[in-house]
């Protein structure tokens, strides 16, 4: 059960960060191929953005793509090790700031200021208590036309969570529940994509949302993508070689 203490103990403690998280991009052939082949195609309508908030940047695997795509960047992570690593790594980016939080509070972020919120491969380990605090805050932090993209667990919504190898996914979170929390907090879901992870079924979900009215009166799009890891393999085999072009 990855509670906040588990996240802190692992990512601010015993995790071997020598590869900076690049090891998690292996199925896509690296973070560059994963960003341009998998993440950017889902985000290209939202980038570049004026002000970006990244929740849980870790050692900056996605931060290196987000910083050049905005005028102002803020990264919030509960691990001092990660905040310090990012401060060092991105020291030359004068429009980027990193702050440590307690895993719940976004007090460091001014209300109504954020055009794009991004979090990938981090909040899959966050239980529902984190979403109950983050989602209402995020809706306050977003600018009226701002949008958030969160990657989170769907283990609670997965057919057979007990038998699944669950990759430390949070057991108390489902895509449906995160969608309900957004609606109850005065937000609007734009797209939810349930995705497979590493050969397991759809244990994760990508939720894109904003304030009420951000997408007019359009109904939320719901996608169940059981080919997410097939997509990763295709990116690794047919896009990654292009990352070697000088």
Site for ligand SAM contains 55 (CB under 6 A): yes
Based on CB atoms, which residue is closest to ligand SAM, 15 or 113?
15
Based on CB atoms, which residue is closest to ligand SAM, 46 or 124?
124
Based on CB atoms, which residue is closest to ligand SAM, 35 or 158?
35
Site for ligand SAM contains 57 (CB under 6 A): yes
Residues from 114 through 153 that contact ligand SAM (CB under 6 A): 120-122, 125-126, 130
Q: Which of 61, 169, 211, 236 binds ligand SAM (CB under 6 A)?
A: 61
| Number of residues this chain uses to bind ligand SAM (CB under 6 A) | 22
**Smallest gap from residue 12 Cβ to ligand SAM (A):** 6
Residue pair 50/70 in contact (Cβ under 8 Å)? The answer is: yes
Residue sitting closest to ligand SAM (CB): 58
Based on CB atoms, which residue is closest to ligand SAM, 4 or 220?
4
Site for ligand SAM contains 90 (CB under 6 A): no
Q: Which of 29, 103, 175, 187 binds ligand SAM (CB under 6 A)?
A: 103
Binding site for ligand SAM (CB under 6 A): 7, 11, 21, 55-58, 61-62, 76-79, 82, 101, 103, 120-122, 125-126, 130
């Amino acid at each position: 059960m990855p509670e906040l203490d588990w996240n802190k103990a692992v990512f601010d403690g015993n995790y071997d960060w020598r590869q900076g998280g690049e090891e998690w991009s292996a199925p896509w052939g690296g973070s560059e191929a994963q960003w341009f082949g998998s993440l950017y195609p889902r985000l290209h309508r939202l980038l570049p953005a004026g002000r970006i908030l990244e929740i849980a940047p870790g050692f900056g695997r996605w931060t290196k793509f987000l910083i050049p795509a905005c005028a102002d960047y803020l990264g919030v992570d509960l691990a001092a090790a990660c905040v310090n690593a990012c401060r060092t790594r991105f020291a030359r980016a004068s429009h980027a700031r990193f702050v440590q939080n307690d895993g719940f509070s976004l007090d460091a972020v001014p209300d109504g200021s954020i055009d794009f919120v991004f979090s990938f491969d981090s909040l899959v380990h966050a239980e529902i208590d984190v979403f109950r605090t983050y989602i209402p805050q995020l809706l306050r932090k977003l600018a009226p036309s701002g949008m958030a993209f969160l990657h989170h667990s769907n283990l609670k919504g997965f057919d057979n969570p007990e038998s699944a190898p669950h990759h430390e996914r949070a057991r108390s979170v489902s895509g449906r529940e995160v969608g309900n929390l957004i609606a109850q907090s005065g937000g609007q879901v734009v797209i939810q994509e349930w995705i497979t992870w590493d050969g397991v079924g759809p244990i994760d979900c990508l939720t894109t949302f904003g304030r009420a009215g951000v997408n007019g009166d359009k109904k939320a799009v719901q996608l169940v993508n059981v080919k997410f890891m097939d997509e990763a393999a295709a990116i690794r085999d047919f896009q990654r070689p292009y990352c070697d072009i000088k």
